[in-house]
Amino acid sequence: MESRDYLLSAAGLTAVIVFAGILLATSQFDGGIEGSTADLQNTSFNTSSEVKMTEGGRKYVVSPDKLLQGCPGGKDCIPSIDNPQFASAGKADWLNPSDKVVGLEINNESRAYPLRILSRHEIVNDKVGGKPVAVTYCPLCRSAVTHSRRVSGQVLEFGVSGKLYNANLVMYDRSSDTLWSQISGRAIIGEKVPQKLDLVFSSITEWEEWEKGHPDTKVLSRDTGVYPNSVYETEAYSGYKRSERVGYGVNQVDERLRSKDIVYGVKTGNQSIAVTKDALQDKQLIQTEIDNNTLIVFRRPSDGSVTALLQDETDVDFDLNDKEISGSGGDRWALDGEDIDGNEDMKRLL
């Protein structure tokens, strides 16, 4: 039995942090809360449920001709980190307080992966709290997603394929050469179609906030064995970050959000919601309805990470303090959705 804090079963649920221009490129809005949420039905990370075959006999749910070559070197043109080294928080004095990190905690083991490093490697094959994980980051989308590397009893190792799908990183696993979508975690071309990776909870936050909430955290070291430490003084793609342009191969423009607004996207059942980063700065907790359930999204006071929880009641108002969530009926939950008063747990999505 996996720890309830560890992963989200992949079936029917998706949660992701990403640029709005990538996520909304093919979407149709039906409404939502003005300025804070938007319907993301038919988003770019959706794939066909119908498995087809190429002439060469490879299974696919995304046609190979939909992929773009992102870097000329092909596989491993961007080197993944496969033997990550870590340092204590006290030795990470090269990080600025406002530097962004992907924060991850499994079985009381905390780790921080600075975007300065992730932007130049995109995948870290790691083992945290005894669990094999892939910490992944797509600089073009600003999507940070952590997946379990265990699939049908086998532990996979992932690399950068060099290809893009809707401007998003396409990974490959080194055992079967299957191609995987980074955002959805779905096998899109190859032997392992139509399997999907389980999502592991992680979040982009500022280093200062993560260290405050996790003083014993380990930090991914610049000693990668690939580049000298000086390369990690800045993130890659700095010019791209400053521009309004978003992605490669994304042809549709949706003007209801700016293309590089950060959104937290959640998909459950047949409905999807995006909550903007700006909305979470304006409100302590955002509550809305999705697929006949209540979705609540909030930034944790302890470390700044964002959490999304699903509750099957739609007639309850929720409030947040430093340690727990309370409902208007008097029920209380921990910040990970675990019930305090003996009722049902909430389902964690992000």
Could you read off the pLDDT of 8-38 as tens digits, one per residue?
443 445 556 666 665 554 333 333 333 334 4
| Cα-based angle 252, 254, 257 (whole degrees, multiple of 5) | 145
Dihedral sign from CA coordinates of 183, 187, 190, 192? positive
Residue ranges per domain, the chain? 45-238
Residue with tokens 């993560």: 210
φ, ψ (nearest 5 deg) of residue 18 = -165, 160
Cα 325 from chain centroid? 23
Contact 144, 190 (CB under 8 A): no
Q: What distances in angstroms separate CA 130 from CA 2, 109, 147, 151, one per listed residue?
A: 11, 9, 14, 15
Of the pLDDT bands very low, low, confident and very high (cuts 50, 70, 90), residue 350 is: confident
Task: Using the predicted structure, report yes or no on whether residue 342 has a pLDDT greater than 80.
Answer: no
Residue with tokens 């309805």: 289
Q: Mind listing the pLDDT tens digit for each residue in 221-255?
A: 999 999 999 999 988 987 887 787 776 766 556 67
Contact 186, 180 (CB under 8 A): yes
Of the pLDDT bands very low, low, confident and very high (cuts 50, 70, 90), residue 343 is: confident
In 3D space, the residue among 324, 344, 342 whose CA is nearest the CA of residue 333 turns out to be 324
Q: What distances in angstroms separate CA 268 from CA 34, 47, 144, 273, 295, one per listed residue?
A: 20, 15, 19, 9, 10
Q: Mind listing the pLDDT tens digit for each residue in 167-195?
A: 899 999 999 999 999 988 999 999 999 99
pLDDT of amino acid 304: 86
Residue type, 230: S
Between residues 268 and 122, the one the model is more confident about: 122
pTM of the entire structure?
A: 0.85
Least-confidence region, from 76-85, 120-129, 155-164, 292-301:
292-301
C-alpha–C-alpha distance, residues 73 and 46, integer Å? 27
Task: Using the predicted structure, report yes or no on whether residue 329 has a pLDDT greater than 50.
Answer: yes
Task: Using the predicted structure, report yes or no on whether residue 266 has a pLDDT greater than 70.
Answer: yes
Provide the percentage of residues in the chain whose pLDDT is more than 70. 83
In 3D space, the residue among 138, 197, 192, 145 whose CA is nearest the CA of residue 162 turns out to be 138
C-alpha–C-alpha distance, residues 125 and 171, integer Å? 12
Least-confidence region, from 19-33, 109-123, 170-184, 309-323:
19-33
- What integer best gives the mean pLDDT of the chain? 85
Task: Using the predicted structure, report yes or no on whether residue 46 has a pLDDT greater than 50.
Answer: no
First to last CA, the chain: 20
Between residues 259 and 328, the one the model is more confident about: 328
